[in-house]
């Protein structure tokens, strides 16, 4: 009971935190992602509250200025590669995770990993991170030709849906002549190699 009350408070705090840092449009996206994440977590027998908490926090740093991302990453010793230097907003996941730790006292590594990895993916990412990654791409306001199929697949096969989202993102970048973040390529490779084994585990 006490635990449940604590979780409830944390969810409210995370919601208020996101609302205070984001425009109405982005806060709206955040709440839709939270609802989608919670729903998918339930479908896959995961802890829906922890999944929702990660989702409420995922874009909380999205409206930080580029130079501020780099300053915070430097101050907090977050990994910054060439892609992050060129496009500092890639740091919005890692910075949000660090803010969640410092300002809301969240130490749950699975939640922090989900927030950190939601933009590029990460090889070996856990189920909460996968649910958030996919929910971010299929929340109800997302509109692209394959989204309907992806919404269905996400309920059946999380790894397959994440792999499909990554293929789509990579295809999108290729078409625009943009490089894909190495972490996304590695994540897709991991998912493709791991897919068969994982779906066997999930069916148990």
Q: Which residues bind Fe ion (CB under 5 A)?
A: 59, 136
Min separation Cβ 33 and Fe ion, Å: 6
| Whole-number Å distance between alpha carbons of 173 and 103 | 34
107 Cβ contact list (under 8 Å, min separation 6): 101
Alpha-carbon distance of 86 to 67, in angstroms, equals 11
Distance CA 9, CA 48 (A): 15
Q: Which is nearer to Fe ion, 48 or 136 (CB)?
A: 136
Shortest approach of Fe ion to residue 59 CB, angstroms? 4
Nearest-approach distance from CB 21 to Fe ion, in angstroms:
13
Q: Which is nearer to Fe ion, 25 or 86 (CB)?
A: 25
Round to whole Å and give the CA distance between 53 and 34: 8
Contact between 155 and 40 under an 8 Å Cβ cutoff? The reply is: yes
Q: How far is the CB of 34 from Fe ion (least distance, A)?
A: 10
Minimum CB distance to Fe ion smaller for 10 or for 60: 60
Non-local CB neighbours of 3 within 8 Å, separated by 6+ positions: none
Q: Residue 2 Cβ, how far from Fe ion at the closest point, in Å? A: 32
Q: What is the distance between the alpha carbons of residues 152 and 136, in angstroms, rounded to a whole number?
A: 15
Which residue lies nearer to Fe ion by CB, 136 or 164? 136
Nearer Cβ to Fe ion (142/195): 142
């Amino acid at each position: 009971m006490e635990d449940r009350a604590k979780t409830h408070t944390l969810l409210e705090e995370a919601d208020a935190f996101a609302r205070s840092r984001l425009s109405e449009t982005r806060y709206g996206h955040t709440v839709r992602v939270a609802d989608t994440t919670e729903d998918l977590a339930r479908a896959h027998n995961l802890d829906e509250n922890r999944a929702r908490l990660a989702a409420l926090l995922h874009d909380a740093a999205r409206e930080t200025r580029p130079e501020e991302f780099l300053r915070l990453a430097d101050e907090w010793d977050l990994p910054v590669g060439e892609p992050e230097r060129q496009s500092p907003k890639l740091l919005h996941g890692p910075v949000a995770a660090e803010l969640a730790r410092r300002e809301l006292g969240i130490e749950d590594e699975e939640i922090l990993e989900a927030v950190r990895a939601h933009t590029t993916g990460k090889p070996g990412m856990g189920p909460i991170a996968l649910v958030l990654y996919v929910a971010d791409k299929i929340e109800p306001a997302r509109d692209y030709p394959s989204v309907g199929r992806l919404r269905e697949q996400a309920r059946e096969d999380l790894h397959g849906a994440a792999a499909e989202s990554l293929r789509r993102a990579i295809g999108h970048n290729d078409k625009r002549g943009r490089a894909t973040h190495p972490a996304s390529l590695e994540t897709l490779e991991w998912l493709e190699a791991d897919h068969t084994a994982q779906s066997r585990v999930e069916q148990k």
